[in-house]
Amino acid sequence: MVDKICVVCNESVYATICALCLTDRTEAWLEGKKLSMTREFRQQVRLFLDSLKKRSTMRCSMCRTETIATCHMCYLENIGGWLARKDKGLAVDFVKGFNTGLISNSFKEEIYA
């Protein structure tokens, strides 16, 4: 398997899940928290994606779309940073949720498979 390189940090991407699939999961989490900010959230993801240079692509293991290669850390940093500007506690929850698999169980399976 050829290593995919994240276009943001140049590290290998171990779990090839696209930003949009991560976003679906995060939205489910936001809704679980009864927060009505999914619209703003989508906008932020859009900005993040637009800021990327299409140097490297990967096929998402969830939706099978050929997409710009990004790792979940850069996604976390960007989206978590945006959340932190709105609500610090929420941002901490977000990162925790990500790391404990609340948001993405299959994501973890990808990493440790």
The residue ranges that bind Zn ion (CB under 5 A) are 6, 8-9, 18, 21, 60, 62-63, 71, 74
Three-class secondary structure assignment of the chain: CCCEECCCCCCEECCCCCHHHHHHHHHHHHHHCCCCCHHHHHHHHHHHHHCCCCCCEEECCCCCCEEECCCHHHHHHHHHHHHHHHCHHHHHHHHHHHHHCCCCHHHHHHHHC
Q: Which is nearer to Zn ion, 31 or 66 (CB)?
A: 66
Question: What's the closest the beta carbon of residue 62 comes to Zn ion, in angstroms?
Answer: 5
Question: What's the closest the beta carbon of residue 53 comes to Zn ion, in angstroms?
Answer: 13
Q: Which is nearer to Zn ion, 76 or 83 (CB)?
A: 76
Q: Which is nearer to Zn ion, 38 or 61 (CB)?
A: 61
